[in-house]
Structure 1
Amino acid sequence: MPSPCAYFVTGTDTEIGKTLVSSALLHALAQTGMRAVGMKPVAAGAQWHDGKWRNDDVESLAAAANMALPQELTTPYLLREAAAPHIAAQLENVSINLNHIRRCYDRLADEADAIVVEGVGGFCVPLSAETDTADLARLLGLPVIMVVGLRLGCINHALLTAQAIAARGLQLAGWVANLVDAEMAYADENVAAIGARLPAPLLGVVPRLELPSAAAAAGNLDFSCLPGWPGERTNSI
């Protein structure tokens, strides 16, 4: 069975639009006719509603996908406390096991044509005393898409994150600028400065959306240059 078209989405910080961009990517993949599923291996911050624990990011990814697979596979670690994952896991006496996440990913790969894996927080957020999100990205070995939250300090955050990705031997396949601070001065100049210093294409700039949605965000992005994109390249990831 061929490997799925798959990407790992990370960000320069938390709350900078990873889920919105991941959902947009899923929407675009579904538009090509591929069976696309989102994976949020670790999600912290869940609320009990309609008989189950729910997380907004997890539900956004599920809504953007065009196939439904068990949440035990798409989010093997759904933690209740809205805190750093290693803290939330400790509070619930949960041990986050990267090999278990890999096994869940492999089962998704058996069913889906495309998988979008969204990290948690920034690229190096701890998952346990011994591991972090960068270790997870390295274990999966997928091309990385970096979401840069446009606000003061974003140039430094973007370049440091890109260096961390390269240090793990991973490919930065593309990056997205997401305007999180509507009042940011010189946003275009910041985007240009980042683009001039990154060895990866800018996939687009997501403006402040009145009604954020996967389709609306996807309308501002072009994923066709990504490695393995449907119809662009025949090699699998």
Structure 2
Amino acid sequence: MAGFQGKSVLVLGGSRGIGAAIVRRFADEGAKVVFTFAGSPDAAERVAAETGSIAVRTDSADRDAVIARVRDSGPLDVLVVNAGFALFGDALEQDPDEIDRLFRVNIHAPYHASVEAARHMPDGGRIIVIGSVNGDRMPVPGMASYALSKSALQGMARGLARDFGPRGITINVVQPGPIDTDANPEDGPMRDLMHGFMAIKRHGRPEEVAGMVAWLAGPEAGFVTGAMHTIDGAFGA
């Protein structure tokens, strides 16, 4: 495959799981890929070596660092914002500082990265943000802050689609359900509960999410923007 030959792609959060699958997909299709990592340097080094991409350490909780990374990457053809994390537990007992960090990573970073990328992108550029089906549905307690952060991406994409549309720059949110990664393994303790909500009773594969991202970044998706694209085995149906 060479669908992105010579294209410049930045993936924020690309060392593990869904992010690593996205890096591999674009690299396999000929793109020049740079990806960021924060806490997994060994994994980042492996992905970079396997794909010929470039790994750079960037803390997505640091607004200025995120903006600088996007700016210093030059004119991007594709920006993918995958970095994110979740906190679980009783909202009445959680550390407010940790909640604020979650919002900086899951909301502030995607917004500032998208805006900075659009400043320099050629017309027709692509921005894809990895959200979650939990932006639409939260069937269990203890995940309010995470659900809030993923719902916020929906409004962001709808609004920025209006701002960027005159230049043909699209922005879309991909909303995975349970995906088989280190953070949510298919053989983990939540397996039966999660599969109980689903029509297709298995975890998704990171490569399936990467395929949806690649389509949104490609020429067939030039009229698709400001939209949510759920890939969840009907978890949220």
What TM-score, normalized by structure 2, do the two folds share? 0.46
More helix by share: 2
What TM-score, normalized by structure 1, do the two folds share? 0.46
More strand by share: 1
Greater relative contact order structure (CA < 8 Å, 6+ sep): 1
